[in-house]
Amino acid sequence: MVALGLAGAEAGAPPEPFALYFERARSAGLHSVPHAGEFAGPESIWGALTALGAERIAHGVRAIEDPTLVNYLAQHHIPLDITPTSNLLLGIYPTYVAHPLPRLHAAGIPITVSTDDPALFQTTLNEEVTRLATDFDLDVAAINDILLNGIRYSFLPAQRRQELEAAFQSERAILKTKHSSGDGSNLLNI
């Protein structure tokens, strides 16, 4: 066990009443990764940050509604673990086009993608990653950054994060070489 989370209906259940539990968990060496900012909006993210000492926010997509919060998340490098399909199926956003993932990433907030509950939402991590290119029209550099954020903002020891990032970069270089044409121009901007 490395972290304490908080999930469930946000409406009528703000994070502040759980502060004591998170304080105890952090004192015991656990990280704080609550769900916030999906249904209840920016106020639940602020509550998770101030009352629960959140180091990462699961969801957090409604941060886009508060420019001060967007700046805070970017400046303090607090990642949002975004689950696009879940957000659509729960009615948070009507389409991927309306989803703020690209704007949050462009604002400098560290973004990761995940599945939330794959069995419930009938999605996989591969499908969510594919959506970064297809439904969100992100370029390869942005997708690589989002994928690497999964490593960079994990709670693994620093040495292991460095090893995984180096392995990712090595595989990326191999793919780039493999998919380059003979004249040196890249067919695939990896």
| 122: nearest Cα among 82, 89, 80 | 89
CA distance 56 to 42: 14
Q: Is 10 a catalytic residue?
A: no
Instruction: Calculate ∠ Cα 143-123-13, nearest 5°.
Output: 95
Question: Which position among 10, 38, 55, 128 bears the catalytic label?
Answer: 38
CB 190 within 8 A of CB 179: yes
83 neighbors 59 (Cβ within 8 angstroms): yes
Q: Which residues are catalytic?
A: 38
